Chains A and B, each alone.
Chain A
Amino acid sequence: MKFRVAREVLADAVAWTARSLPPRPSVPVLAGILLEVDGNQLSVSGFDYEVSARAEVDVQATESGRALVPGRLLAEITRALPPHPVEITAEGPRLALVCGNARFSLPTLPVEDYPSLPSMPSSAGLVDSDVFAEAVGQVAVAAGRDDTLPMLTGVRLEIEDDLITLAATDRYRLAVREFAWRPETPGVSAAVLVPARTLAEAAKTLTSGPEIVLSLSSGSSGEGILGLSGKDRQTTTRLLDAEFVKYRAIMPNDSNSHASLPVGLFTDAAKRVALVAERGTPLRCEFTPGQVTLHAGGSDEEGQAEERCDVEFDGEPLTIGFNPTFLLDGLAAVHTERARIDFTSPLKPAVLSGVEEPAADDGKPAGPAERTGSYRYLIMPVRLPG
């Protein structure tokens, strides 16, 4: 194996692949990155039996072949190289890397022990890469991190004809986002559970092309996997084998009151007031017509803070407590200038949703929840004493 490649191109591909390497590989070879040259194409791959990543770049090759190289070391080296073309040559059990005046000789790992990457399942359809990245980011924020309950660490991906619904919950909040896509087969219907962190990472880094090919293999023929292919990059992840909670049953259908608020100003106020909220103590929000008053702290040993913010509020005055992080995560995910919060009662979930601008479009039915492409973020309140 011998090839020449632009430094940025190589560094990007290696860095992207290295992100999915396991921090503590179960087998030493899994810490490796596989370099494979065929014709004038180099593929850079990583795999840990859960997630696979494969980036392809054009190179000037003089000799095909393959080599398995310690992945993190290769990523660190390529990131640090000077801005010159890179020449890589396999020399027996070592890999030589020359760039400008810098020369490296790296040990390689036994390539024959490396597992073959899962083949990409057949294409299910196309999604707009920016829409996908946004939607996944909006939903994955609500996923849990405690992997003793696998269901809560996943993002549910539901396909119903030309609509995809993503949902995730850590049992304290639930985020749901719908968006349109172009399925390969009209009328297709499927539902899978994807590890949230892997999905979020992949969606964020596959935006270099306009579209992503989404491919699925169901669990019936062995392990279910989800494949995502962007421009020159493709990744697969093993699906979670767990039932997702029947989340639609907990989405409130109507509300008793709602507030419309400026996201930026409200977020800043909430962040300030939350500074005195010690761990586990809530942000207390008192909604009255025209304004919300935020409080935190309160007992003698703690600090106290209070701030008013102008909002539109329609309904009976209401005092409700939120975990500040949960509220701020939701506010940061709506991606609109104004947001709406629907309330049922201080102990029932509140529903945060974005309000599209301009609002002056007459005759448009209210209820952003009904729009296609909508985002809803449910927060279970904190019960306040008394």
Chain B
Amino acid sequence: MEAMRREASVLHLDLDAFFAAVEQRDKPSLRGRPVVVGGVGGRGVVATASYEARAYGARSAMSTAEARRRCPSGTAFLGGRFAAYRRTSDVVMALLRELSPLVEPASMDEAYVDLAADSGHDLSVAGVTELGRRLKDRIAEATGGVTGSVGIGTSKLMAKIGSDLQKPDGLVVVPPGSELDVLHPLPVTRLGGVGPATAERLHQIGVKTVGDLAARSLADLVALAGKAHGAGLYALARAEDDRAVVPDRGVKSVSHEETFERDLTDLDVLNREIDSMAARVAERLRASAFSGRTVTLKLRRYDFTTLTRSQTLPQPTDDGRTIAAIARRLLSDAGTQGGLRLLGVGISGLSVYAQGDLFAEDLLTGEPEPLPDVVTAVDAPEPEPEVDLPAERRWWPGQDVRHEELGAGWVWGRGLGRVTVRFEGPLTPPGKVRTLSADDPLLHATDPPDWRTTG
């Protein structure tokens, strides 16, 4: 435990509607328009809504179907391009690491920085305000216009509260000593750890604001929320938070899951889903130079019962086929009766070492075998479960494509054997839409475009 900080030395950065912002950067025709990123299938869930879409009531974690009802026609519903988000996130995290060696990414679009870990900073309120302003400018410049909100305070709690106060594109420094003035008028739900259930119970005893919470005794809160949680709430309501900024919290597991448009029972189809998910998990493992020992299969049945099954390998692996073989076995043990609406494959027990597998790679040529097509083709959040993919199913909304004659663009829609593509990129003005045959041989999936001008 550290002593409570006396200076506003913790910075929290939260990128504004991050996925949607990257989409609007890379797709100039969507700038200023409502954009929803998430699962585009029948049961998809919104990952991020742009501020324009939020004005209509779209929210993250809402079902995509609900967001479609709320948003006007012309709203772009896009599948996620995680490679593009990752690249932009990496640029931002690198800027944060220039400020301090202690950077704790909380997700792709959120991180804490301990400014006290670098002795070069002026930690006065004026000093950190100026630092925050410069950081925001540099982020917008380096990312091609993605903005972030910054909060700076004496603790992680206050920094996070601060970054949320003036979203988007906000900057709030909570001066040391003024924590309770900022905190107490806020609704209790702003505190980390107060979810809907806790909020409901607090509400019943008349606790609505953090100030109401601070007026309650420790015994009351322990009775209400349990020992650890109650004590945590008691401390947070007093802005008592000495949590350290822990760099690179370390990945504990890597997983991937899919929600299907309709319940699947066919074991062959499900096994193909497993293969593709296992290959993606393995790819991400290798990208982070990890291997893992415990393979977990998650499944949700038609009636929403959710279960996980896992098996631990004698040796850590990063081979997709090994992971797939185990997951397939776990699935055949668990059964698919009644149909599955969700399937996930994950691996944990991560290690920096990987026991090689004599049969995993082609030892004759020394080249790793290319991943099966089904894997490289799906950057989409929801690959289609059909056995014979119609040509149009290769394309999904938001996908980056390149046409050998028409140039680079992205998929606007698909259907009836055709695909509509808008030919534009982050460095072009809004482009034209063209409708092409879905099996146009000149049209290919491609990598995310680069928003940085060369040189």
Which residues of A are interface residues toward B (Cβ below 8 A)? 146, 148, 169-174, 245, 249-250, 252, 280-282, 321, 323, 347-349, 378, 380-385
Contacts and interface: CB of A to CB of B under 8 A. Distances in A.
A280 B359 contact: no
A250 B357 CA distance: 11
Contacts of B358: 169, 171-174, 250, 349, 378, 380
Given A148-B329, A249-B364, A385-B289, A380 B357 contact: yes
A174 B363 CA distance: 14
Which one of A171, A173, A381 has the greatest number of beta carbons of chain B within 10 Å? A171
Q: Which of A252, A347, A378 has the most CB of B within 10 A?
A: A347
A300 to B, nearest CB: 14
Given A172-B357, A172-B358, A382-B353, A280 B364 contact: no
Contacts of B329: 148
A146 B315 CA distance: 12
B359 A383 contact: no
B321 to A, nearest CB: 11
A348 B365 CA distance: 11
A323 B351 CA distance: 13
Contacts of B315: 172, 280, 323
Nearest to A149: B325
Contacts of A382: 353-356
Q: Residue among A169, A383, A385 with the most chain B CB within 10 A?
A: A383
A250 B363 contact: yes
B355 A380 contact: yes
Interface in B343-385: 351-359, 363-364, 366
Interface of B: 289, 291, 293, 314-316, 329, 351-359, 363-364, 366
B52 to A, nearest CB: 45
Contacts of A174: 358
Nearest to B319: A171
Contacts of A148: 329
B351 A280 contact: yes
A302 to B, nearest CB: 12
Contacts of B354: 382-383
B363 A146 contact: no
Given A348-B363, A382-B353, 20 more contacts: A148-B329, A170-B314, A171-B357, A172-B355, A172-B357, A250-B363, A250-B364, A280-B293, A280-B351, A281-B351, A281-B353, A323-B355, A348-B366, A349-B356, A349-B363, A380-B355, A380-B357, A383-B291, A383-B356, A384-B353
A11 B232 CA distance: 69
Given A146-B314, A148-B329, A348-B366, A250 B359 contact: yes
B327 to A, nearest CB: 13
A278 B293 CA distance: 14
Nearest to B353: A382
Nearest to A380: B356
Nearest to A169: B358
A148 B313 CA distance: 12
Contacts of A384: 353
B353 A383 contact: yes
A347 B353 contact: no
Most buried by A among B291, B329, B358, B364: B358
Contacts of B291: 383
A378 B358 CA distance: 9
A282 B356 contact: no
B294 to A, nearest CB: 11
Contacts of A347: 356
Contacts of A171: 357-359
A249 B358 CA distance: 10
A174 B357 CA distance: 11
A320 to B, nearest CB: 10
Most chain A CB neighbours (cut-off 10 Å) among B329, B357, B363, B366: B363
Nearest to B289: A385
A281 B352 CA distance: 9
A174 B316 CA distance: 18
A380 B316 CA distance: 13
